[in-house]
């Protein structure tokens, strides 16, 4: 299986977790890709030119994380990350929808930040950030359901870890913990989230091993992105007009 991904700890991280949990990690041929350059191989596999994109062994392309996760989950005989039925399924999918939506919104904000300053829209940045804050607040209300191991929790852990990474390395996000003790109690360092795929720090395997190819891509993205001045704060209840 060929996986097109960016060597940044965003969308690849959840694919890695699912692949590890499904026992498929070693079957992945990892293709570091910058989708914004519209590389031929990616466009040939995915007309939308997005990552992650998986090309199965028979050549069938799968577009986007959610489909890739479910495909990988179908290929192993262990306990399923997508619960097959009943209340457990809908709890997992509800959290999954929230986590993936949060991720996509936070990603759109990063994309906006990376635009040249004179093309950047403060309204769009604010709109994305307010949606992220509301999503994190909703997660806090959902934290009672953070138990077991399923795709919803992988997604939740993914977004929380990514926000931490953005805060620590880019300085363009703030801590999600203040005012959200229930989520914090299940933070990714807590034993609840200590399943194998999450023990590794976020980031691609190449970045962890220092592969120069990935480091080059990574550096280029870092240089492209402004580092400060966009930290709107993520504190609970900071949605404009909410209280």
Residues that bind ligand GSH (CB under 6 A): 6, 11, 35-36, 49-52, 64-66, 100, 104, 107
Burial of 115 (0-12, 13-18, 19+ CB in 10 A): middle
Q: Between 13 and 236, name the residue whose CB sits nearer to ligand GSH.
A: 13
| 65 touches 11 (CB < 8 A) | yes
Q: Least Å distance between CB 53 and ligand GSH?
A: 8
Q: Least Å distance between CB 104 and ligand GSH?
A: 5
Q: Between 128 and 180, name the residue whose CB sits nearer to ligand GSH.
A: 128
Q: Least Å distance between CB 107 and ligand GSH?
A: 6
Pairing type for strands 29-32 and 2-5 reads parallel
CA atoms within 13 A on the CB side of 52: 28
Handedness of CA 158, 6, 22, 95 (dihedral sign): positive
* Count helices and strands in the chain by DSSP H and E runs: 10, 4
Q: Between 104 and 174, name the residue whose CB sits nearer to ligand GSH.
A: 104
Q: Least Å distance between CB 205 and ligand GSH?
A: 18
Q: Between 49 and 170, name the residue whose CB sits nearer to ligand GSH.
A: 49
Q: Between 103 and 236, name the residue whose CB sits nearer to ligand GSH.
A: 103
Q: Least Å distance between CB 57 and ligand GSH?
A: 20
The dihedral formed by the CA atoms of 158, 160, 163 and 165, expressed in degrees to the nearest 10: -70
Q: Least Å distance between CB 242 and ligand GSH?
A: 26
Integer Cα distance of 162 and 12 in angstroms: 11
User: Reduced to 3 states, what is the DSSP secondary structure of residue 33?
Assistant: coil
Q: Between 96 and 236, name the residue whose CB sits nearer to ligand GSH.
A: 96
Residues 6+ apart with CB under 8 A from 167: 173, 174, 175
């Amino acid at each position: 299986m060929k996986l097109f991904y960016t060597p940044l700890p965003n969308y690849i991280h959840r694919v890695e977790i699912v692949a590890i949990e499904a026992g498929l990690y070693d079957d992945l041929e990892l293709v570091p890709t910058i989708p914004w350059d519209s590389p031929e191989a990616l466009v040939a596999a995915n007309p939308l030119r997005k990552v992650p994109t998986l090309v199965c062994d028979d050549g069938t392309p799968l577009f986007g994380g959610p489909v890739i996760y479910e495909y990988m989950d179908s290929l192993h005989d262990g306990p399923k990350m997508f619960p097959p039925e009943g209340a457990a399924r809908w709890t997992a999918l509800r959290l999954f929808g929230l986590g993936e939506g949060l991720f996509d919104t936070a990603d759109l904000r990063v994309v906006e930040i990376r635009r040249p300053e004179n093309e950047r829209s403060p309204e769009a940045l604010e709109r994305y950030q307010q949606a992220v804050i509301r999503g994190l607040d909703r997660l806090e209300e959902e934290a009672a359901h953070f138990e077991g191991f399923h795709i919803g929790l992988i997604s939740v852990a993914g977004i929380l870890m990514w926000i931490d990474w953005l805060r620590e390395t880019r300085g363009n996000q703030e801590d999600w913990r203040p005012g959200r003790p229930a989520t914090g109690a299940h933070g990714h360092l807590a034993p609840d989230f200590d399943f194998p795929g999450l023990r590794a720090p976020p980031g691609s395997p190449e970045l962890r091993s220092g592969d120069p190819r990935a480091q080059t891509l990574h550096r280029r993205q870092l240089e492209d992105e402004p580092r400060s001045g966009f930290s709107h704060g993520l504190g609970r209840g900071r949605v404009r007009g909410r209280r």
